[in-house]
Amino acid sequence: MNPRVIRSIPILLVAALAFAGAFAWMGNEPGVLHAQPSETPVVRAALPGALDAAMGNPYLIADIAERVTPAVVYIEVTWPAPERSSRNPFANDPFFRDFFWFNPWPETPRGPQISRGSGFIISEEGYILTNQHVVGNPGDGQKVTVKLHTPDFQGEVEARIVGADYGLDLAVLQIDKPRGLDKLPTVPLGDSDASRPGEWVIAIGNPYGEQYEHTVTVGVLSAKGREIQIYDSNQRRWKTYTNLMQTDAAINPGNSGGPLINIRGEVIGINTAVNAAAQGIGFAIPINTALDVMEQLITEGRIRRAYLGVELYDLDEIQDRVKQLLGLDLKEGAMITRIEPGTAALEAGLQVYDVILRIGDTPIRSRQDVVDDLAKRKPGDEVVIQVWRRGRTIMVPVILGERPPGI
């Protein structure tokens, strides 16, 4: 299985519906602080007079942007000085480094590194959603600054990293309400499950840093449920993202972490990546996915996920010669091709070349079915996995482990 090469940085085109894309996220890896409200109120109110009444309005996009923009923030992260640093403002973005093989910013003497991105305020308590690769993990020694630009306040405030998840590329920040501001602006949140390919979407963020803050781009929701692979040069391995929304709205360096908005002015996604190999392809995390785990990030600072510890392939990816040697004539299932040491799969007695047919009551047709099923379970859950093994079907009880950090 050859991974698609996913890298960074599109070239910004303004006021057009043709955009150059580039699989990229913009950021670094980082660190934590805690806050623990029991529940986080979020806004789900749509703009008045939504689609039916407004399609004839030539300023519809402008009206939505004017309403949402005050809650979209510019994020700047200052990292402790490495052994060598660069004047490149996107030096901490591994995908920028991979895409631009030359360095237009020569190296300078040691000093702090800066990474930049976008985010948006979702509650009056000051909670902000953004990408994990923008701000990193709690406790990594970085300083996070958020710039607000509202009618009543323009300035910077320090933010706390409440929680972050590498696997989902999601982070929650929190800021205090600045003096002189009655209340923090918030964005209305929509229902990403109800979104449909072909509907208009708007991306708002800060491409290429503060210089172009609150840039608005427009496109359509091209597809849902996409899977992409990005090479993380910090971790030196490929990382798979699933269930992403695909859009042709331009997502540029610095836009990462900003909102993807529907025509009713509701946030339906968090912009995260663009495809360097194709024009007009960007990706966003569905807002429903983010909200499902946000409370756990706020209360625990991280997400605890069930982990089996296997590498899987779909059966149509297995060579016919291998199938013949195994006597395998199945059409559906997920074949185990590698088992990580010290994991639940190894302890339970699963073997390489086993084909997973069922987990509990869930039939398994592909490896994505395994991913989806495990996502609904917790570490410590006991499940019975039905596998095909060299011509016979067996049942294997498994106590699921916890996914290690950085996987």
Q: Which pLDDT tens digit goes with each residue over 286-332? A: 999 999 889 889 988 888 889 999 999 999 999 999 999 999 999 99
Q: Which residues pair with 310 in a beta bridge?
A: 339
If you ran DSSP here, which 8-state letter would residue 118 be given?
A: E
Could you tell me the residue range of the domain that residue 177 belongs to?
A: 58-186+292-300
- Judge if 286 and 317 occupy the same domain: no
**Active-site pick, 93, 98, 169, 354:** 169
Same domain? For 220 and 251 the reply is yes
**Together in a domain, 282 and 375:** no
Domain edge (last residue) among 230, 260, 291:
291
**pLDDT score recorded for residue 90:** 54
Helix (H, G, I), strand (E, B) or coil at 355: strand
The angle subtended at Cα 395 by Cα 389 and Cα 400, nearest 5°, is 105
List all residues 6 or more positions away from 217 whose beta carbon is below 8 Å from its beta carbon.
Answer: 19, 202, 203, 204, 249, 250, 251, 255
Catalytic site includes residue 118: no
- Helix (H) / strand (E) containing 368: helix 367-375
Using CA atoms, how far apart are residues 48 and 22, in angstroms rounded to an integer?
35
Residues 258 and 237 in one domain: yes
Last residue of a domain, one of 245, 265, 300: 300
Is residue 242 assigned to a domain? Answer: yes
Within this chain, do residues 236 and 286 fall inside the same structural domain, yes or no? yes
Question: Is 195 an annotated catalytic residue?
Answer: no
Two structure tokens written together for 56: 């004839």
Question: d(Cα 258, Cα 282) in Å, to the nearest integer?
Answer: 13
Q: Among 300, 332, 351, where does a domain finish?
A: 300
Q: pLDDT tens-digit profile of 196-252?
A: 999 999 999 987 666 677 889 999 999 998 988 887 776 677 778 888 999 999 887
Q: Is 38 noted as a catalytic residue in this protein? A: no
CA distance to 239, 313, 368, per residue, from 242 (Å): 10, 15, 8
pLDDT score for 295: 87
Does residue 85 sit within a domain? yes
Cut 0.75: pTM above it: no
8, 85, 118, 133: the catalytic one is 133
How far, in Å, are 22, 64, 215, 280 from residue 12 at the CA level? 11, 21, 10, 11
Q: Structurally, how many domains does the chain consist of? A: 3
CA 258, CA 319: separation in Å to the nearest integer? Answer: 42
Least confident of 80-94, 115-129, 165-179: 80-94
Residue 375 domain flag: yes
296 with 158, same domain: the answer is yes
The catalytic position among 123, 256, 369, 373 is 256
